Chains A and B, each alone.
Chain A
Amino acid sequence: NAGVTQTPKFRVLKTGQSMTLLCAQDMNHEYMYWYRQDPGMGLRLIHYSVGEGTTAKGEVPDGYNVSRLKKQNFLLGLESAAPSQTSVYFCASSPNHRVGKEFFGPGTRLTVL
């Protein structure tokens, strides 16, 4: 099993450009999450999904959109990137609410110039 994978690993964008980060998991998990990690801020939840076709806002959702068209994939979109979105993005998945332990992907380092 690959676990949780993220694509790409690194990306540099110019202000105003758009991009999509892909998260994939092969563990048949119901729940998937997108976090951003900034110095001194810990992990902050952007959006999450409790099943295929569902999404919900987390703590810092502004400037991001997500989609969960397939159970194994969770996409994070930036429509118009801003320097404030420079961060490391982590995707995670968990089996369900009863088993809340989350499995994390390797992270995507995004720089917006």
Chain B
Amino acid sequence: ILNVEQSPQSLHVQEGDSTNFTCSFPSSNFYALHWYRWETAKSPEALFVMTLNGDEKKKGRISATLNTKEGYSYLYIKGSQPEDSATYLCAFQGAQKLVFGQGTRLTINP
């Protein structure tokens, strides 16, 4: 059974502060690493898909990095805003399907 772990499980950040969290995954049989943003009462929405070691992706104030050799990815949010409050899921893509981590629940305090 593949183990995809995210830390921390939950995080409270003051509006305007920057933050980051971690996804760790198996370093073997790697195809891609996905990040999703999941707002309460909605469906998960894809943020990034990363495939190459050293990949960096950016969308607005959110960015992600990938290290496939050591099996981790970081998601960074710069200058947090209340609308960033959500659960952030990472998923390891191996053969045919994704294996999701449990998510990091981010709450931005105004």
User: Bound pair: A and B?
Assistant: yes
Q: Which residues of B contact A35 (CB under 8 A)?
A: 100
Listed residue (B32, B46, B97) with the most chain A CB atoms within 10 angstroms of its CB: B97
- Say whether A104 contacts B45, CB under 8 Å: yes
Q: For the complex, is A52 an interface residue (Cβ under 8 Å from B)?
A: no
Q: For the complex, is B102 an interface residue (Cβ under 8 Å from A)?
A: yes
- Contact-residue size bin, chain A (C-beta under 8 Å from the other chain): 20 to 34
Q: Which residues of B contact A42 (CB under 8 A)?
A: 89, 100-103
Bound CA span A43–B88, Å:
12
Q: Which residues of A contact B89 (CB under 8 A)?
A: 42-43
- Say whether B43 contacts A100, CB under 8 Å: no
- Say whether B98 contacts A102, CB under 8 Å: yes
- Say whether A101 contacts B102, CB under 8 Å: no
Which A residues from 41 to 63 make CB contacts under 8 A with B?
A: 41-45, 48, 50, 56, 58-59
- Say whether A101 contacts B45, CB under 8 Å: no
- Say whether A31 contacts B102, CB under 8 Å: no
Bound CA span A101–B102, Å:
18
What are the interface flags for B40-68 relative to A under an 8 Å C-beta threshold, 1 for contact and 0 otherwise? 00111110010000000000000000000
Bound CA span A7–B6, Å:
31
Listed residue (A50, A56, A97, A105) with the most chain B CB atoms within 10 angstroms of its CB: A97
Q: Which residue of B lies closest to A40 (CB)?
A: B102
Q: Which residue of B lies closest to A3 (CB)?
A: B43
Q: Which residue of A lies closest to B46 (CB)?
A: A101
Measured CB to CB, the residues of B under 8 A from A are 1, 31-32, 34, 42-46, 49, 89, 91, 93, 95-103
Measured CB to CB, the residues of A under 8 A from B are 4, 31, 33, 35, 40-45, 48, 50, 56, 58-59, 90, 97, 100-107
